[in-house]
Structure 1
C-alpha cells in the first residue's frame, strides 16, 4: 500500500482555505469559530437546517451490487445529500492531482503519515456523541485512528492475526482441529503430519508461507519476544527477533521443519488453492475470496503460542477519513456517520468483513455456530484482539518495511541469507532509511 503524502504545505493550505471562507461568507463556521479557522475544522451548527451537498469517495466496482442499495437508502433518508462513488478510482492518484475525494480510505498505519490531509473528527464526534454512540465501537478500533488525541478516521473493519485451517484436509489426515490453546510444538507437529509429497514433489503443504509483507514474519518475531521497532529504531537484530525470523525460515523447505513452501517452491495456490492445511496470521480481508472458492471448508482459531508468548498477532484497522479540502464537510460527516453506524456495520458483515460495532457482533454471535458460514468460530476472532499488537505508528513504517526490509526477508527465504544475516542487514538498512527520511 502506498502511503499518502502531503499535497500542499500548511502555509498554502491556510491561505487557500482563508480565501475560500472569505468568498463564501464563512457559512460553515459556528459562532465561536475564530475568523481564521479553516472551514470544516469544527462541528457544524446543529441549528443550520438540513444538510446538503455532494460526497465523493472511491470504491471497487466489485462492491457495486452491495453498495448501491446502501447508498440509495442513505439518500432517501438524507435527500439533500448526493453520494457520488468514484468506481475503481485510486485515492492516492486523485490526491496527487489535487482532486481528493471527500472521503479517503485510511487506516491505523496511514493516519500518522497523512494527518495533514485529514479533517479532525473529534469535534464532530463530540457534537453527535449520542447518535454516534462511541461506546458501541470496540475501543481499540477508535484509538488506533487517533493521532495526538485527534480522531482522524472512523473504523469500518479490522484485521487480527489468526490460524486459518482447511477442515477437509485435517479430516482426511485424521488430525484434530486446532484449539485456542495450541503451542508452537502442536503447530509444528500438525504441519508436518499434513504435508505430502508425491514422486519427490510436494503435493500438499501443512501451512502456507505468507510472502511479500509482514503479515506472518512479524508475528513470529513478536511471539519470540522481539519487535520491529524499539525506541524509534528498527530492532530486528535482537536475539529475540532473530529467533522469530529463524522459526519463520525453519518451517519452510529451506529450514528444519519443512512443512511450508519457501519463496522458490510451488505454493500450490496458497490457502485458497485448497492444498494448504493452514495459514499463520493471514488477513480477514481474504475471507471473501476464500468463501468464493467452491468446496473450501475452512475455519479459524487463535494463533498458537510462540516461543516466548502468545501475544504478537497483528491488529490493524481500516476506515474512512474526511479530506481537509472537502467543500461539503457537513455532508461528508453525515454520510460517514451512516457508513460507520449500525447500518454500515451490518453491510460490512454482509460483505464478509469483521465489523467494529459490538452490537452488530452480538447479533452475529447469537447465531449458533453450526448455522454460520465460514468461518464458524467467530468467537476466536474477537478473543484474538486481546493478544493482538498494533503496528508501529511511525509514519515511515509502511514504506520502510515494504521497500527496505521485505526484500531482505525475501533473500532469506531464497536461502541467500541466514536469518541472523538477514536480521542484521534489514536492521542496518532500515535505520539508514529512517535517519534519512525523518
Structure 2
C-alpha cells in the first residue's frame, strides 16, 4: 500500500492561474497548426506526446504503463513527460502551447479546466468512441462522465481520477459520548443530533467541523446539501447562479443552526486543522474523502466510514473528477492512437496498476471486487465504502470559467453565516449577484 498522493487542495485548483489562462485559451483557438495524415493508417509509425501531470512514483507508474503499450504496438512511440513542474502549472503550459502549436496529444487535467480546454478548439471529440460497448463507458461514475463532456456536446477525453465526500466518524469520540455510530440510513437531522451529543466544551471536543476559510473547501462541502434538497448551482442555461433558492437557504440555515445555535461545529479557518483534530480524537465527524485515510491509519485513529446523511433518502455527494484531456493535431494516425492509448490506460486491468496501486479510488465499478483493490481496502479500511459511494456522485460541479468567482462568492457567504455574521437568505442573494458578474465576464 502506498500513500495517497493527493491533498484536497490539489484536487480543486481554483486559483488566479486558472483565471489568467482563460484569455490564453481564447487566443489559442485562433492559431492554426500543420496538417498531418488525412487518412488513417494503423500500421504507420506514429509518435504521441503524453503529459502525466505527476511526479516521482506516480509519474513512473504511468511511464511504465506507456512503455508496456509501446511493446504491444511497436509502431507507436509515446513521448512521456511530466509536462510541468506541478499539476497546477499544466493549464498555463497548455495555453502557451496552443498559441505556438506545440502541445501534447494527451495531458492530465483538473476537471475544473474542462470547459476552458474545450473552448480552445484544440480538443478531440471522442463521443463516437464512447458508444463502443467494449469500452464500457457506463462503468465510470456519472460525475466523471459529465466532467469530460463540459458543454454536453463533445467528449474531450477520459476520466483520470475520481473521488467523493463521505462521512468519516471517530469511534473513540462516539464511544466516550455513548452515541451510536452513523449508518447509511442517517438523515441530516440524525447527524445534527449526534453532533450536539458529541460536543463537550469542557474538553474542546466538537461533533463536526466545517471550513470557513472562504475557499473551495467551504463551497464544495455545501453542494450535497443543496442538491439533496432539489437545488442547483446554475440556471439551466448556465449563465446565472441558482443557489440562492429556497433549497439553498434551507441548506445554509441547517448548517447555521448547527454552528451558531448548537455550537457543535469546529469552524476551521485553515482547511487543515480539522483533520488533525479529528485524528487526535477532538472531533467526532468530518465529511471528507479517501485522501484522509492514510493519515488516519498512520495516526492510529479509530474511525469508520459511511455515506453522507441524506434528505428524504437522497444521499447525493459531490465528486471532483480529473481527466485525461485529448488534443487534436489534425493527424488521423495520432488521433487514433492517442484515443486507443487512453482507452487502454483507463481499462480496469491498467487502472488497477495505476489508481488502485497508488491509493486512489478505482475509476470503474468493475474494479471494486478486484484483488488489487481489496488489498488496498485491507490497508485503508473504508476505502471500499468511499468507492461504492461513487454511485451517489450523480452531478458534476460546473466547469464554466466563471465558477471560480462563483465559488469565492458563495464560500465567503457561507463563512460569514456560520460565524454568526449574516442571515442565510440575504447572504446567498448577495453572493448570487456577485456570482452572476463572474459568470458574465
Change in Cα spacing, 1:49 to 1:291, as seen in structure 2 (3 Å) is: farther
Selected match of 1:373 from 356, 376, 379: 379
1:362 equivalent in structure 2: 369
1:295 equivalent in structure 2: 300
2:266 equivalent in structure 1: 261
CA distance in 2, matches of 1:256, 1:194: 15
1:52 equivalent in structure 2: 47
The structural deviation recorded for 1:383 is 4.7
Q: How does 1:61-76 map to 2 (within 5 A)?
A: 61=56, 63-64=58-59, 66-76=61-71
CA distance in 2, matches of 1:103, 1:132: 18
1:141 and 2:140 correspond: no
The structural deviation recorded for 1:295 is 0.9
TM-score by length of 1: 0.78
Q: How does 1:357-436 map to 2 (within 5 A)?
A: 357-363=364-370, 367=374, 372-376=378-382, 378-379=384-385, 381-383=387-389, 385-386=391-392, 388-392=394-398, 395-434=400-439, 436=440
1:40 equivalent in structure 2: none
CA distance in 2, matches of 1:139, 1:313: 12
Selected match of 1:239 from 218, 242, 246: 246
Q: How does 1:2-21 map to 2 (within 5 A)?
A: 2=14, 3=18, 5=22, 6-7=24-25, 9=27, 12-13=30-31, 16-17=32-33, 20-21=34-35
Look up the SS of the partner of 2:227 in the other structure. helix
CA distance in 2, matches of 1:103, 1:356: 18
Q: Which region of structure 1 is more displaced relative to structure 2, 3-12 or 413-422?
A: 3-12
Contact 1:94–1:101 (CA under 8 A) maintained in structure 2: no
Contact 1:58–1:101 (CA under 8 A) maintained in structure 2: no
CA distance in 2, matches of 1:50, 1:135: 32
The structural deviation recorded for 1:191 is 1.3
The structural deviation recorded for 1:275 is 3.0
Change in Cα spacing, 1:60 to 1:194, as seen in structure 2 (3 Å) is: farther
Look up the SS of the partner of 1:219 in the other structure. helix
Look up the SS of the partner of 1:417 in the other structure. coil
Contact 1:298–1:374 (CA under 8 A) maintained in structure 2: no
* Residue-by-residue CA offset, 1:310-348 (whole Å, 9 max, x unaligned): 254224422211233598545533432332122332021
Change in Cα spacing, 1:50 to 1:377, as seen in structure 2 (3 Å) is: same
The structural deviation recorded for 1:397 is 4.8
CA distance in 1, matches of 2:395, 2:51: 33
Change in Cα spacing, 1:263 to 1:123, as seen in structure 2 (3 Å) is: closer
Q: How does 1:301-312 map to 2 (within 5 A)?
A: 301-306=306-311, 310-312=314-316
Q: Which region of structure 1 is more displaced relative to structure 2, 135-144 or 221-230?
A: 135-144
The structural deviation recorded for 1:423 is 1.3
CA distance in 1, matches of 2:282, 2:426: 32
1:102 equivalent in structure 2: 105
Q: Which has the larger radius of gyration?
A: 1
2:81 equivalent in structure 1: 84
The structural deviation recorded for 1:385 is 1.9
1:169 equivalent in structure 2: 173
Q: How many residues align structurally?
A: 402
CA distance in 1, matches of 2:119, 2:395: 26
**Structure 2 unmatched ranges of 5 or more:** 1-12
RMSD: 3.5
- Indicate the structure with greater helix content: 2
* Residue-by-residue CA offset, 1:371-392 (whole Å, 9 max, x unaligned): 7333337246425524743324
* Residue-by-residue CA offset, 1:94-130 (whole Å, 9 max, x unaligned): 1243254432333554322320334224267269x47
Look up the SS of the partner of 1:372 in the other structure. helix
The structural deviation recorded for 1:354 is 1.7
CA distance in 2, matches of 1:288, 1:78: 38
